[in-house]
């Protein structure tokens, strides 16, 4: 029997500036909070240089609200934001959000107590990781709720920095040049936080042991054929690592053998972000730039069976580059509210309309994107409004129901959506949220 997989939109929010990073708060008392970061290149003229500006949003998700469950709590005008991540554990009793900014800074914001004027973000500290560079990514060492709190940050000059918190200032522990070009991503091994991974525009994935110093990597992999954009260590299974690249492949690795990946999964778009599910160890969320958002089921690969990981759900309602995506830890084991009427793509790049020639674009706008068919004709992004889908009934409670958020760049849209899944023995082809589907 086929598994039942259904995605449904709950709310769409216009961020006004280009949206490229989104994350739900993992701290237990604040699972209903969502942060979203934006990036806008303001072109200069003959009298002024170009500038990069951004905005940081804080939202609250209200379960039981039927129409607009997402409520904006705060917006802060900032430098352009390239990445943001919450620390997995409270620091001094407060949730802390890290932001990688276009000024080359790692910025920390602390969440105020909800009992004192409501929840909001307050500047805690910042540290510039280098001059004339952009901070591109960050990760916390606390993925398995470790109390040894450190941050790793990568930058546009190919550098990687490891920092510690010194109540409340940031202290640089180690800093080195890791890649020849932009170091798009850096991440901790959550099982041994002395191990750090980095990926760059030089098409290399590297490992670093902080105990030995950063003079040379523990390994260098060239298995990806284009820039490495995403790395995420599994918080559930030791040694397991997921990586994504502009080459449209998601690779799973066993960190004890980085010569050959456990599996290679083509997803049809440059893989900008990967996120393991917070509790379901086999589920992996991928933001695939020109090919929407997908949820991969990785059990067979992780159990040694090899082969590509099947896609069990796809969310295709964005109309622009799919950059930010994350799982919420809020429980959704109840019927979803009726989704609002929204606009979805009339056609997606996966439609049979000829091969698309895509030259990928980074959020730093350092090179261009083209979207053409085989004879060089431009493919427009036509859209159409679908009919409103019906509400689910109380008898359709699935075995797994997840709340997610995703954001896309040029259309500056944040989507909050729900995925209901009743898995069977083997994952099947998903029911897509697109024209002609009943999932809405």
Q: pLDDT digit string (tens) for 247-272?
A: 999 999 999 999 999 999 999 999 99
Lowest mean pLDDT among 22-31, 66-75, 120-129, 309-318: 66-75
For residue 102, pLDDT beyond 70:
yes
For residue 8, pLDDT beyond 80:
yes
Any residues with CB less than 8 A from the CB of 281 and at least 6 apart, and which?
234, 236, 237, 302
Lowest mean pLDDT among 4-13, 59-68, 240-249, 394-403: 394-403
For residue 307, pLDDT beyond 80:
yes
Query: Nearest Cα to 138, choosing from 123, 122, 146, 127?
Result: 127
Query: Residue 197's pLDDT is what?
Result: 98
Query: Residue 168's pLDDT is what?
Result: 75
For residue 365, pLDDT beyond 80:
no
Query: Residue 342's pLDDT is what?
Result: 40
Q: Cα–Cα distance between 125 and 111 in angstroms, integer?
A: 13
66-70, 271-275, 302-306: range with highest mean pLDDT: 271-275
Query: Nearest Cα to 353, choosing from 377, 369, 329?
Result: 377
Mean pLDDT, to the nearest integer, of 276-305? Answer: 97
pLDDT-derived band at 400 (thresholds 50, 70, 90) equals very high
CA 12 to chain centre: 17
pLDDT-derived band at 116 (thresholds 50, 70, 90) equals low
Name the DSSP class of 378.
Answer: B
- Is CATH 2.130.10.10 correct for 8-342+401-420? yes
Q: Please tell me the pTM assigned to this model.
A: 0.84
List Cβ<8 Å contacts ≥24 apart for 188-191: 188/139, 188/140, 188/141, 188/143, 188/150, 188/152, 188/233, 189/233, 189/241, 189/255, 190/141, 190/143, 190/144, 190/146, 190/233, 190/234, 190/235, 191/144, 191/233, 191/238, 191/239
pLDDT-derived band at 363 (thresholds 50, 70, 90) equals low
The answer to whether 288 and 270 are in contact (CB under 8 A) is yes
For residue 399, pLDDT beyond 70:
yes
Query: Residue 50's pLDDT is what?
Result: 76
For residue 395, pLDDT beyond 70:
no
Lowest mean pLDDT among 74-78, 350-354, 429-433: 350-354
Lowest mean pLDDT among 56-65, 201-210, 288-297, 366-375: 366-375
Mean pLDDT, to the nearest integer, of 74-101? Answer: 97
CB atoms inside a 10 Å sphere around CB 114: 13
Q: Sign of dihedral through CA atoms 257, 262, 267, 268?
A: positive
For 48: left if phi > 0, alpha if psi spans -120 to 50, otherwise beta; the answer is: beta
Dump pLDDT digits (tens) for 156-167: 999 999 999 988
> Which of the pair, 53 or 214, is modelled with greater confidence?
53
């Amino acid at each position: 029997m086929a598994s039942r997989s259904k995605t449904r939109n709950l709310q769409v929010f216009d961020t006004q500036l280009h949206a490229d990073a989104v994350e739900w708060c993992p701290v237990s008392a604040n699972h209903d909070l969502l942060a979203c970061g934006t990036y806008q290149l303001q072109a200069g003229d003959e009298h002024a240089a170009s500038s990069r500006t951004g905005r940081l949003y804080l939202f609250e998700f209200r379960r039981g609200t039927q129409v607009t469950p997402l409520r904006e709590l705060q917006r802060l005008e900032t430098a352009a934001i390239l990445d943001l991540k919450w620390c997995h554990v409270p620091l001094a009793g407060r949730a802390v959000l890290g932001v990688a900014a276009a000024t080359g800074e790692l910025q920390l914001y602390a969440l105020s107590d909800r009992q004192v004027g409501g929840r909001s973000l307050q500047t805690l500290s910042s540290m510039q990781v280098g001059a004339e560079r952009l901070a591109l990514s960050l990760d916390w060492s606390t993925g398995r709720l470790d109390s040894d709190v450190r941050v790793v940050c990568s930058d546009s000059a190919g550098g990687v920095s490891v920092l510690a918190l010194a109540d409340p200032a940031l202290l640089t522990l180690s800093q080195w040049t890791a890649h020849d070009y932009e170091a798009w991503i850096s991440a901790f091994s959550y099982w041994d936080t002395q191990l750090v991974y980095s990926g760059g525009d030089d098409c290399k994935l590297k490992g670093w042991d902080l105990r030995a110093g950063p003079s040379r990597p523990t390994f260098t992999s060239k298995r990806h054929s284009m820039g490495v954009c995403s790395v995420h260590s599994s918080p559930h299974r030791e040694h397991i690592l997921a990586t994504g690249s502009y080459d449209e492949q998601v690779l799973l690795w066993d960190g004890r053998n980085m010569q050959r990946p456990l599996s290679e999964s083509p997803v049809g778009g440059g893989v900008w972000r990967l996120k393991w599910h917070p509790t379901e160890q086999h589920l992996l969320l991928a933001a695939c730039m020109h090919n929407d958002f997908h949820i991969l089921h990785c059990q067979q690969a992780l159990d040694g069976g090899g082969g590509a990981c099947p896609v069990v759900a796809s969310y295709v309602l964005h109309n622009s580059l799919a950059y930010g995506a994350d799982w919420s830890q809020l429980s959704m084991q109840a019927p979803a509210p009726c989704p609002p009427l929204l606009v979805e793509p009339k056609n997606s790049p996966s439609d049979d309309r000829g091969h698309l020639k895509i030259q990928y674009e980074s959020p730093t706008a350092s090179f261009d994107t083209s979207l053409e068919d085989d004879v060089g004709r431009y493919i427009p992004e036509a859209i159409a409004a679908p009919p409103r889908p019906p509400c689910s009934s109380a008898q359709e409670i699935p075995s797994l129901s997840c709340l997610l958020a995703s954001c896309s760049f040029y259309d500056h849209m944040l989507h909050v959506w729900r995925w209901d899944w009743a898995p069977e023995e083997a994952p099947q082809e998903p029911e897509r949220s697109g024209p002609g589907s009943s999932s809405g």
